[in-house]
Each structure stands twice: as structure tokens, then as C-alpha cells.
Amino acid sequence: MADSANWDWGTGEKLISDLDEWKSSFNWVEEPYVSPDGEQIASIVNVDEAEFNVCVNGEVWREDIYDKAWHLRYTPDGRLTALVNENDEWTVAVDGESWENTFDYAWNPIFSKDGGTIAVSFQKDGEYGMARNDAPWEELFANLNCPELSPDGTKTAATVQIEDLGSADIFKFQDGVFTAADDGTPWDSKFVNVWWKSFNHDGSKLAAEIRLNLYDYTIAVNGEPWAKTFASVWKPIFRPGTDSVVAPVKAAGKWTIAEDGNIIWDKGFVQLWQQMFSPDGKKIAAIVAPSFGRWTVAVDGIAWSATIGDMITEMVFSPDSSKVAAIALEDEKWTLIVNGSLWQDTYDMAYQPVFSPDSQMVAAKVEKNKKFTFAINGKTWNQKFDYVWDPVFSPDGKNILARTVEDGKYYRRVIPVNEMIG
């Protein structure tokens, strides 16, 4: 991840690019993306019939065109990537340079936390695998789903089909034809299903949701299922710095949390998912439904008293582990909920909350009546824009990097938080 301390926090306002001018240069300009530091804005652009390029701050990536391009995204370290097609072959382009390896199809790029690793799923000659930083798996498979990249970017994994399965052969399916491939090497064991998975901190352990038969769900770690089975499970995660695995499990009709197969919360919920460890590794938070149709967050098994009707998502811990924030939906209106307190203002859409480095402030991109702005500590900034990207706090927490579009122009602004919340 780019170190924001090296970004320009001194310049109040920069006009980076006039997007309306782009429109006169191309047949069409697709939705733009901005770099983490706000210094670049980029779009896929159509140059002519079936001719595409990428425009960055008004300049095209390269002279040659692509036959197709999609999924333009910046990595956390600020590199611009796209999935591109030339001469009927797909690959990944990074800052205008294509990978050497090409595929019959490539999709679903995943980035490591620091942005140093890019992984994609690919299909070549009807076989499936993953490629990490332009290095494809050696062994390929009949199908591939639920890809994962280790947090440090050193390992890839996916669910793979390891045996042929004839049309409507339900009996062979139930014997198990799927496993997880860890960097392309399949586990020794096979299962009826393998779904979402996680790596531990150094990529040496891989845990996945599995179904042993049509009825018994559990978690497998490096191919070894937990001793206990459950009515259902959701995606597991590792306890930070350890090889212990924590997953939501459904037991006796209620959802709760299990660690290495043993239930560790004494409370059961109508639903429970998206469990997360605090940065210090001491707390577990999860999104829960304490009663049918009501949603909130539970920390270490204790649910907040405030509940909401439709959805809680995008949960984050503060850097000091003292706070949890999420966005909450009821009756088509979104708001934020922080440590159990719902903000008063509501929005047509809210994005993932962002904590200041000292954990004292929380901000989020919000949308109302087709205009975008930021909400900070429960207050909505009175400036409105045609579009904004997520806010970024300066390292000292005093300023916010606001990446905004107004009247067809993209601006990078550094704004004191005090000005924004008055």
C-alpha cells in the first residue's frame, strides 16, 4: 500500500483533468477511477469501432489500441490495471504494459493489501487456473471458483474441480469432485463443495468452507476438516498471528462463532456473518440478526442494542480497536452506525467508513439526490459534488484528501477536517 505520508498534503486544490474535454476526443468515456493519492484519474475510452484505450489525466496509455478492455482499477500502491484483449487473447495490463502470459479469458483481478501482487483467474484451452504477477499455475483444472489471495500476496488459492463429472451425474458429484488448490496444488482430500476461503498471515495455512455431503458443513484447514460438522457455515478467517480458524457456524438452529470447531460465543443469532478481528487481535466483531428481520453488530458475542431493519455491511474496526463502524440500511435509506449509535442523517447510499489514524474521527462518502459529499462524525459536509471517491485522512488526521468531480472537472483537494465539520 502506498505510504500516504509521501503524498502532497500541502496543496489545497489541484485541477487534475477536464473530463469534458476527454468526451470530445473519444466516442465514449467509461466511468473513471482515481489513484489512491488522487493525482491520477483514468477511464477506458472507445477510440473507434472495437478499438479501446485507457485515458489517464487526458493522455492515452499507449499508441496501440485494445480490441476490448474492462475492469479498470487502481492497485492499493497506485498502479493502474485493466483486463485487455488483443488478437483474441486476454491478459492483464499494468500501467499500459501487458503481461507476457496471455489467456483465452482472464477475469476477477485481486490485489494484495500492499498492492504489490495482482492475481487473476484465467481459462486457457478450456482449463482453469490462477496467475499471480504474470506467473500462471502449472497445473490447470476443469473449473475454478471462489479465488483467494493471501494478505501478503505470496499465495493464491481457488476451488477447483479435480475429476470429470458427466452430465447429471449426481452420484459422482455427491462422492466429491472438488477441492481447494493452494497455489495450484490441489489438497489431497476432495469434497462435495468447497466455497470461500482465507489464508493465514504468512500464507502457510488455507481454510475453506466445505460441504462433506449434502447436509454436513464444516471448515477444512489445509484439506483437513474440523472434527465437528454444522448445519451451515460461512467464510472462515484466521486469528491474527495464529493458525486458529474462526468461522460463523449454524448449530441447533442458531448462528454463532466457532474456533477450530469449538463454539466460542455463548450467544446464538438468527444470522451471523462477516466476522472480523480487531487490529490488536483481541476482539471479534460480526454482523448479526439478534431477532428475525433486525440487524446489528455483535462484539465478542454482545450485540449492540440499536438494530436496523434491512442491512448492516462494510464493517470496520478503528485502528486502536476501540470502535466499530458500519453502514446501515432501512427503508432504502442508508446511514452509519458507530459503536451502536446510529447517525441522524440518512443517505441514498453510503460507502465504507474510514477512521482517522488516531481513531477519533470516522468519515464516509455519501450520496443524496444524485449529489455526493462526505459525512464525518455524524455531520454531513455542506459541499456537494457530482461525484467523490472515498475520503482519505492525512497521517496527522487534520486533513482529508477529497477527490471530487464538479462540472466535468476532476479536482484533488486537501481540506482541513475542521472546515468540513464546522
Partner 1 sequence: MTNPSENKKPMVLDEGLEKGAAKLTQDRIEKTIKQVLEGETGARFKAYVETCVHCGLCSDACHVYLSLDRDPKYSPAGKVKRTIGEIIKRNGKVDAQFIKEASVVASTECNLCKRCAMYCPFGIDTAYMMLIVRRICHKLGVTPLYIQDTAHSHAATMNQMWVKEDEWIDTLQWQEEDAREEIPNLRIPLDKVGADIMYSVIAPEPKFQPHLIYDMAIIMNTAGINWTMPSEPGWDNSDMAMFTGDNELCARLKKEHFDLAARLKVKKIVMGECGHAFRSVYDVGNRMLGWRMHPFNTIHAIEFYYDLLKTGKIKIREKYKKSVTLHDPCNVSRGRGLHDKARWVINQICEDFTEMYPNREHNYCCNAGGGVVNCGPPYKIKRVTSNRVKAEQVAKTGAEILITPCHNCHSGMDDILAYYNIEMHTKFICEIINEVMVKPEEA
**Distance (Å, rounded) from C-alpha 416 to C-alpha 407?**
23
Minimal distance in Å, beta carbon 202 to partner 1? 27
Assess contact for 36 and 76: CB atoms under 8 A: yes
Which of 10, 188, 253, 418 is the binder for partner 1 (CB under 8 A)? 253
**Which CB sits closer to partner 1, 171 or 382?**
171
SS3 179: strand
**Distance (Å, rounded) from C-alpha 358 to C-alpha 264?**
31
309 binds partner 1 (CB under 8 A): yes
**Which CB sits closer to partner 1, 285 or 329?**
329
Which residue's entry shows cell 454444522?
Answer: 230
Q: What is the DSSP string of 81-144?
A: EEEEEETTEEEEEETTEEPS--BSEEEEEEE-TTS--EEEEEEETTEEEEEETTEE-SS-BS-E
Q: What is the DSSP letter of 269?
A: B
**Which CB sits closer to partner 1, 288 or 420?**
288
Total residues in contact with partner 1, by rule CB under 8 A: 58
SS3 11: coil
141 binds partner 1 (CB under 8 A): no
Residues in a beta bridge with 370:
none
Helix (H) or strand (E) holding 258: strand 254-259
**Which CB sits closer to partner 1, 71 or 113?**
71
57 binds partner 1 (CB under 8 A): no
SS3 422: coil
Binding mask 79-118 for partner 1 (x = CB under 8 A): -------------------------xx-xx----------
313 binds partner 1 (CB under 8 A): yes
Q: Which residues contact 166 (CB under 8 A, 6 or more apart)?
A: 172
144 binds partner 1 (CB under 8 A): yes
251 binds partner 1 (CB under 8 A): no
Which residue's entry shows cell 451471523?
Answer: 272
Query: Does the CA dihedral 303-308-314-319 come out positive or negative?
Result: negative
Q: What is the DSSP letter of 351?
A: -
329 binds partner 1 (CB under 8 A): yes
Q: Which three cell numbers stand for residue 5?
A: 505520508
9 binds partner 1 (CB under 8 A): no
**Distance (Å, rounded) from C-alpha 126 to C-alpha 105?**
10
User: Binding segment for partner 1 among 57-65, 110-118, 348-356, 401-409 (CB under 8 A)?
Assistant: 348-356
171 binds partner 1 (CB under 8 A): yes
Could you tell me whether strands 178-182 and 185-186 are parallel, antiparallel, or unpaired per DSSP bridges?
Answer: antiparallel
Q: Which of residues 355-374 bind partner 1 (CB under 8 A)?
A: 367
Which of 28, 202, 280, 281 is the binder for partner 1 (CB under 8 A)? 28
Minimal distance in Å, beta carbon 143 to partner 1? 6
Residues in a beta bridge with 160:
144, 179
Q: Which of residues 174-233 bind partner 1 (CB under 8 A)?
A: 174, 178, 192-193, 195, 211, 214-215, 217, 231-232
Minimal distance in Å, beta carbon 145 to partner 1? 6
Minimal distance in Å, beta carbon 167 to partner 1? 8
Which of 243, 300, 310, 386 is the binder for partner 1 (CB under 8 A)? 310
For the purposes of burial, counting CB atoms within 10 Å of the CB of 92, is it exposed (0-12), middle (13-18) or buried (19 or more)?
Answer: buried
**Which CB sits closer to partner 1, 241 or 309?**
309
Which residues lie near partner 1 (CB under 8 A)?
27-28, 30-31, 46, 49-50, 68, 70-71, 104-105, 107-108, 121, 123, 128, 143-145, 161, 167-171, 173-174, 178, 192-193, 195, 211, 214-215, 217, 231-232, 250, 253, 270-271, 273, 289, 292-293, 295, 309-311, 313-314, 329, 332, 348-349, 351, 367
